[in-house]
Amino acid sequence: MPKVSSAYETKTITLPSYPDSQVLIKTKVLVEDLIESDQKEGWSEYLCITSRMIKEWNFFDDQEQPLPINEDTLKQFPEEDLRFLMQEIKEFTQKKTPSDKTS
């Protein structure tokens, strides 16, 4: 019996500014991810799709509490790390609409 959760795999990456980081990202974008991000523009769209592609990570706040994976948290990272994350997931988030034709 197929499970929707098995539609994608994950891969672990390390951010340039944090050599000990482990960020687990999905290898396929889901329709719900695209719908959510389509309602935004510019950096907000990138932050949204990036936060939705991250499954888990090992980042904590000053009180040793896990940082939530969301747009507000991503705004706290250096720009180079956000660009690195976006580049890593770019191939999975190329927007395709139902009318796009594949060759």
What pLDDT was estimated at residue 1?
Answer: 74
What pLDDT was estimated at residue 97?
Answer: 46
> Domain range spanning residue 68?
31-93
The answer to whether residue 101 sits within a structural domain is no
The answer to whether residue 98 sits within a structural domain is no
pTM over the 0.75 mark: yes
What pLDDT was estimated at residue 91?
Answer: 66
Q: List CB contacts of 32: < 8 A, sequence separation 6 or more.
A: 52
The answer to whether residue 103 sits within a structural domain is no
Over the chain (103 residues), what is each successive 10-residue block's mean pLDDT? Answer: 73 96 90 81 87 95 96 95 89 53 44
30-50 burial: b if 16+ Cβ within 10 Å, else e: eeebeeebeeeeeeeebbbbb
The answer to whether residue 84 sits within a structural domain is yes
What pLDDT was estimated at residue 12?
Answer: 94
The answer to whether residue 75 sits within a structural domain is yes
Q: What is the count of structural domains for the chain?
A: 1
d(CA 39, CA 79): 23
The answer to whether residue 12 sits within a structural domain is no
